[in-house]
Structure 1
Amino acid sequence: MTLSRRNFLQGTAIGLGGAALAGLVGCAPASQAEDSGGDVSGKDATTPGSDNAPKNVTNTIDCDICIVGAGFSGMVSAVQAAMDGADVVVLEASNTTGGASANGVEGSFGANSKIAKAQGITIDINEILNSEMDQSQWRADGLSWYEMMVNSGDNIDWLMEQGVRIDKVDDYHGKDFQTFHWYEGGIKAGYIDPLTARMEELGVRIEFSMPASELVTDVSGKVTGVLAEPKSGEWTQVNADAVILATGGFGANYELCSNIGYPTDRILSVGSPYDNGSGHDMAVAVGAHDMSDYAADNCGSIIGSVGFDMGNLGFCMKPQIPWINDSCERFYREDNCLVNLSLANPPKWNQRRSFMIWDQAIQDSITAEMEGFADLLERGLAANEGEFYKADTLADLANAVGLDVDELQTFVDEYNAMCVEGVDLIWGKNPEYMVALGSAPYYIAEPINAMFTTIGGVATNRQAQAIDKQHNPIEGLYVVGVEGCMLYRNVYTIGTPGSCSGNSINTARVAVKHAMGS
């Protein structure tokens, strides 16, 4: 359907990779028959996709640029392309706007934007660049970092010219740099709604409930279009000079998440159900370099039987609760995630099993800070799902989860001795968080992993083109946003606040400019 004021008021919106926004009412897509451009009945298309089977294409659409996913980065690409005179078609798997960004994006990186300068804030890009490269052990693409930062001020200014509302710039709760540009009124009011209105004004065509499945290529391997299968069961082929994948990450694809290090049976997707790896798989199928092994994760531990909420996530990051493996060895410093929760995840990839253990005194102190959480824990215990136990003795606790009784007792004795001395002899945890385990009953949990999204699953160059293992571009194919982000390796650093969404904005604009030769 063509995006119109009437569609928008009925709840039509744009999703990054297609995530639904709770509470919005979507519109079903209109038929594309009126734009088929000739006889399309019975037309077969073969692609290097998942099954290589001919598809019975009943509808075709011709355009200059096809954007797959119309959320945080997809909206930017659509607006930029339309402003530059391109005929744009956006394929959106959901029927709503905002995508995964609606679940947590609060602002974006910008260096030396007009609004920052008005606040008297100036940024030393060199300092940020070296900080980020040191954190990634110089494995990230430094020039991508540099170019994103150099462009970021102009990107923020451009967004505001399109109607995006930014009300302040700061360091995002005490992070390393004052680069965070807050969206006024939240992501929907400040970002999604204004860009939706801008796309409507520019006449951008969006096809909702239209999940893209495969890329179409010519004999040279150039990507020339996309195949999509709407709920009707009929296939639509979009022919385009360039395809921009803005599909989000693969946090809902547990098989791909296992490439990072997560067991497939211990993941719960809590981001967007449309972060299913479809964009990743489409790109890899036509020769793009699979970077899923190196993707950064946006994830945290939760007690699965309690169910996901931010309180559960926060509880599992409490630094006074020690973590042990199935040999009852404490394997990391539990306060490492106070600034960046993602730092707590990699140590667990190296363990066969990992547990958090605490006593009644610790639980009482935490639940006093977190209203209602004691009830959540009791419901988790009552669920009896085999990952959360309460016992009056350490021996009973060990037996409940299959740990060696003597090994668990030895761990507790040694840990308590360090707590009494106020010195963590192994990891050097802040003494403030060294709390002895001595008040029965005791608790143990084997948390699962709450996956929000992944970042950087497909290799790209600085023009946002998908590239193969030899760094050759896949002609006609661009991957923007989190799926093509090359700023991180394995760990999502957040000392530079807003960098991931800042990169999404930058790659979205860069891809369009390159595709259009500008």
Structure 2
Amino acid sequence: MHSTPGRESDRFADDHGNIHEVDVVVVGMGAAGCAAALSAHAAGAIVVVLEKTGPEEAGGNTRVSGGAWFHHDDPDRAAVYLRSLCGDRPVPEPVVQVWAAGTREVSSWMESIGARVLPNGSYTAEYPELDGSDCYGGYRSVDGVLGEGRLFAVLTRALTERGIEIHYDTPAVELMTDPTTGAVTGVVTAGGRRIRARGGVILATGGFEGDPELVRTHLGLNNVPVWGSTAATGDGLRMAERVGADLWHMDNMMAVNGVSRPGSRHGFFAMFLYSRGYVWVDGNGRRFVDESVPSGHGQALIDGRYELHPRRPMHVLFDERTRMAGPISPNADVMAVGWNVLTDGYRWSTDNSAEIAAGWIYRADTLGELADRIGVYPATLTDTVERYNRACVAGSDELFGRNPDTLTPLTEPPFYAYHSAPVLAWTNGGPRRDHYARVLTRAGDAIDGLYAAGTASSTYSWAKDGGFHIADAIVFGRIAGAHAASRLS
């Protein structure tokens, strides 16, 4: 067990190893939680990390993400870009400034904990039309590799090397507070253990995408599968609310077009890398959007506004030519991300036949039969596809302006369809926080001893670019850890 020089470990643990008092308690061990724990430890604090799941699932979405963060060398322009992405949902200027300065330092901090940091690919800004996008310097990642759990491996190794205590299978369920001041003084675990925190409690519990009730209430989606960890059930949000925290960004999210197995809570990202022959239709069997509109991590420019994309349930149709072109969902050798790919080790069949045979994707010899399978009027669906095919021949989509280069007709039977609910990658909402990562009340006052970082309380009020979430988690995790440790003096 780790102990700080000048302190005896038996002051915060009994003979059975049950921790009763430490300096800083970190709840959750994704990128934000690990960064917070490492930062607090570096400041001399005795730290304990409480992880809801076991070692085989720990780390939340960080474990299965691309693990890359965006790079820039110009905090002033980065601040402009963040303001542009927030649009008419501005975040406080101190948060903008700290974010802009902090995201510049992520690579150097990762190197300081032992990571080999290299550029990853040739990624450019997803919103090049916005002011400040010129700051975007691409991705950086561990070893220059996307995914494969490399970021999580580096972070957990750093915790272990420093002797920071990690308690797996230990959900926190309640915050302890001082009855006089309202300051947060510790946590209570699901097993009833009360752990005091002299410096503070840091909520790094992830988002709420794994909780159907919160998703329905705040995002208007029902029974949606998730791309990452189902352990992200809004635990930090609920605990913070009970001690008076305000909330922010609750209607913001990233969703993707995806396929799910019947009975599974996890979904696959459907990317159609090998053919553009597909259309999206609504519950009436009609197209409703440009399926190929350039989109960032959750938003796209639609009808002159940045809108969530995709934001609603839909059926995705394709034909035999597209089926044979290649897997509609990438395997680990193409994109080593996602719960199904990394944690479950699933490999999608090269011609999509296994998933069709399993019933995840409907098959029919005619469009009319396919309409019956997905529950829409045959005449409507047939008309929709025929109209789309005519647009392909003409090279012009009069309905939604889809890029002519993507207009590949659906003419070769049999035809296929699956329901995309859609798949929810992550949420952004949680307890409102300030530039010190302190959780705020509805009146705007800081709740002493309580912090939040990562997707438990994302900076992003609306649009966000690639690598932004990992960068944000590390920046405000580090800030939370250092500030909580500073309260000891």
TM-score (norm 2): 0.79
Is the 2:249–2:460 contact (alpha carbons within 8 Å) kept by the matching residues of 1? no
CA distance 1:83–1:134, shift in 2 (3 Å): closer
Shift of the alpha carbon at 1:247?
1.3
2:322 is equivalent to residue 362 of structure 1? yes
> C-alpha distance in 2, partners of 1:142/1:423?
43
The aligned counterpart of 1:75 is 34
Q: Tell me the residue number matched to 1:137.
A: 87
Q: Secondary structure at the match of 1:269?
A: coil
Cross-structure match for 1:120: none
Aligned: 1:61 with 2:20: yes
When residues 61 and 207 of structure 1 are mapped into structure 2, their CA distance, relative to the original with a 3 A threshold, is same
Q: Summarize the alignment of residues 415-426 of structure 1 with structure 2, pairs less than 5 Å apart.
A: 415-426=388-399
Q: Distance in 2 between matches of 1:349 and 1:197?
A: 37
Alpha-carbon distance change, 188 to 222 in structure 1, aligned in 2, over 3 angstroms: farther
Distance in 1 (alpha carbons) for counterparts of 2:352 and 2:416? 10
1:377-456 → structure 2 map (5 Å cutoff): 377-384=352-359, 388-456=361-429
Residue of structure 1 in register with 2:193 after alignment: 235
**For 1:153 and 1:384, how far apart are their aligned partners in 2?**
47
Change (3 A) 1:444 1:368: closer
Match in the other structure for 2:115? 164
Could you tell me how far 1:331 is from its partner in structure 2? 0.9
- Displacement of 1:209: 2.5
Aligned counterpart for 1:146 among listed residues 97, 119, 133: 97
Contact kept, 8 Å, 1:66 with 1:91, in 2: the verdict is: yes
From the superposition, tell whether residues 370 and 191 of structure 1 become closer, same or farther in structure 2 (CA, over 3 Å): closer
Asked if 1:276 corresponds to 2:233, the answer is: yes
Q: Is the 8 A contact 1:141 1:486 kept in 2?
A: yes
Summarize the alignment of residues 117-516 of structure 1 with structure 2, pairs less than 5 Å apart.
Answer: 123=74, 125-141=75-91, 143=93, 144-168=95-119, 171-172=122-123, 177-184=136-143, 191-219=151-179, 220-229=181-190, 233-261=191-219, 263-265=221-223, 267-291=224-248, 293-297=250-254, 299-305=256-262, 313-315=270-272, 319-337=276-294, 340=297, 343=300, 346=308, 348-349=310-311, 353-366=313-326, 377-384=352-359, 388-489=361-462, 491=463, 493-494=464-465, 497-515=466-484, 516=486
Identify if the C-alpha distance between structure 1 residues 340 and 279 changes in structure 2 by more than 3 Å, giving closer, same or farther: closer
Structure having the higher helix fraction is: 1
Change (3 A) 1:368 1:246: closer
Which blocks of at least 5 consecutive residues in structure 1 are unaligned?
A: 4-32, 41-57, 113-122
Conserved 8 A contact 2:258-2:267: no
* TM-score (structure 1 length as normaliser): 0.75
Query: Between Structure 1 and Structure 2, how many residues are aligned?
Result: 449
Instruction: Please tell me whether Structure 1 or Structure 2 has the larger radius of gyration of its CA atoms.
Output: 1
- Determine helix, strand or coil for the equivalent of 2:278: coil
Q: Is this contact kept in 2: 1:107–1:501, CA < 8 A?
A: yes
- Cα deviations by residue, 1:246-276 (Å, 9 ceiling, x for unpaired): 11222221222223435332x2234123222
CA drift of 1:169 comes to 6.7
Q: Deviations over 1:290-311 (max 9, x none)?
A: 3363232254421545989997
| Counterpart Cα distance in 1 of 2:359 and 2:233 | 30
Cα separation, partners in 2 of 1:183 and 1:298, compared to 1, 3 Å: farther
DSSP 3-state at the match of 2:225: strand
User: What is the SS of the residue equivalent to 1:214?
Assistant: strand
In structure 2, relative to structure 1, the CA distance for the partners of 1:295 and 1:346 (3 Å cut) is: closer
Change in Cα spacing, 1:457 to 1:336, as seen in structure 2 (3 Å) is farther
Q: Deviations over 1:269-289 (max 9, x none)?
A: 341232222112111221212
User: Following the alignment from structure 1 to structure 2, what is the Cα–Cα distance between the partners of residues 398 and 193?
Assistant: 46
> Structure with the greater relative contact order (CA < 8 A, sep ≥ 6): 1 or 2?
2
Work out the percentage of aligned pairs sharing the same amino acid. Answer: 24
Alpha-carbon contact 2:183-2:447 (below 8 Å) kept = yes
Name the Cα RMSD after superposition.
Answer: 3.7
Contact preservation (8 Å) 1:456, 1:485 = yes
Distance 2:327 2:70 in 1: 35
